[in-house]
Amino acid sequence: MSFAELDHLCRRLEAIGHAEAMLGVDEAVNMPEGGAENRAEAMGVLASMAHEMATAPHVAGWIARAENEELDTAQKAAVAEFRRGYINRTCLSSDFVARQVNAALRCEQLWRSLRARNDWNDFLPSFENIVALAREEAARRAEVLGLPPYDALVEQYDPGSRSAEIARVFADLKGFLKDFIPQALEAQARRRAKHPLTPFAGPFPIETQKALGLELMKAVGFDFHHGRLDISHHPFCGGVPSDVRMTTRYQTDEFLSSLMGILHETGHGLYEQNLPHDLSHWPSMKARGMAMHESQSLFQEMQLSRRREFWEFALPKARGILGLGDITIDDLLAHVHRVERGFIRVDADEATYPLHVILRFEIEQDLVTGKLAAKDVPEAWDAKMREYLGLSTAGNFRDGPMQDVHWPSGAFGYFPSYTLGAMMAAQQWAAMERAVPDAAARIAKGDFSGINAWRKENIWSKASMLSTPEIMRQATGEPLNAGYFEEHLKRRYLG
């Protein structure tokens, strides 16, 4: 059977993917700088090997014959997803893949040192190379997929999403946020006039911050038999479903940014750990794109972990581990629910965060199409920051276009997933509350079993057997509806 041949190939690709994932985690967490050159070479070779195996000419025949075999529903979904992946892989040659992986790793390694020094000029040549490779990738994919170049890149992160529809949704959201953010800031000022912001008494040693993070990760369901938490320059969730590797970064003068980063990445980790195990090598049993992935991290962080009920459960633990003294829930929520125009995307509140994403979405489209040169990104970034958030990043490259790892690593087309995921998370939360009406009471007691059971049944277990719109429709009863996100913001920040 040709399906059996595909099954065997999937197992081999999964093994190589496992090695690539772990080498990538080690490179970000543990590897000394002196290992960079050989690591980039090794990962480029592995990526090229996997690409050659997955795009060999005979694989097309296996797929075609498997499509005509007697298969069950799960097997048919696996073949369909393998065909989609095959078409996308064959857009690129193995030589190009090796060259791109190698360049991206080198650029990311350079970014880590140069961002700290605010050194855009020395970073620019490497970044220009990455942009050139992204344009080449986009052109190659566009020709095969019959899509505009930028859409061909978005397809790699969120299958089925198209920039025209994303732009329409984002334009509406920008219009909403233009009026909403000033209203939220006014409401916040009124609350603070009655209840001034109480500063936390730091410092907070990294060891105690990590202890609190581990405690809350365990409480919400993260399986430490199949995962761990480390430190990196940029928080991420990597590894493989059987060995999920999460990272955060710490500041000793406060603890919420690292803790919320941990809870965000825990959402990614829970998704990976709860995908179907038995057939994990099939492409249909892997996560359904980055918008869905971000919906799970933002469900965990924004919808769940910033609720009052969550802190009714978590604050006693924070007091005991961090020594917060007589800090009340209202004191803490004033920090957790703050709205503030800021420079850094990963530290932004959920009201201003979409504007950070929209800015990147607009700039990277122009980079990929050639409308914007890499050298002109700081100027474009500053102009949009002034327009959207009233802040200037002129000369501040570290907190401007050098702040994210995505572009140095070649991940163009990824950013829209963050805000699409936020919208999906709000809609999923509303559906979950209808199915688990006592969810709030359970959260206050530290019981997340009902919520996780709903997520496993409606999201996690679906993996990539269905499209993102179909998973959303089945889980929530309707297509993606941005109204849930807007109503969520109103309730939380204007109430």
Is residue 143 flagged as an active site residue?
no
> Other C-beta atoms within 10 Å of 172: how many?
12
What CA–CA distance (Å, rounded) separates 403 from 41?
26
Integer distance in angstroms from the first to the last C-alpha of the chain?
61
Nearest to 26, CA basis, from 270, 230, 267, 265: 230
Q: How many angstroms separate the Cα of 15 from the Cα of each of 95, 119, 316?
A: 21, 38, 43
CA distances from 124 to 205, 232, 329, 369, 405 (A): 36, 23, 46, 18, 14
14, 27, 265, 272: the active-site residue: 265
Half-sphere exposure of 276 (CA within 13 A, CB side): 20
DSSP helix, strand, coil percent of the chain (3-state; round to 5): 70, 5, 25
- In single-letter form, the type of residue at position 217 comes to M
Q: Say how far apart CA 51 and CA 110 lie, in whole Å.
A: 26
C-alpha distances in Å from residue 437, one per residue of 299, 432, 450, 454: 17, 8, 10, 12
* Token reading at 265: 């990445």
- Phi, then psi, of 365 in degrees rounded to 5: -60, -45
Coil, helix or strand for 486? Answer: helix
| Residues taking part in catalysis | 265
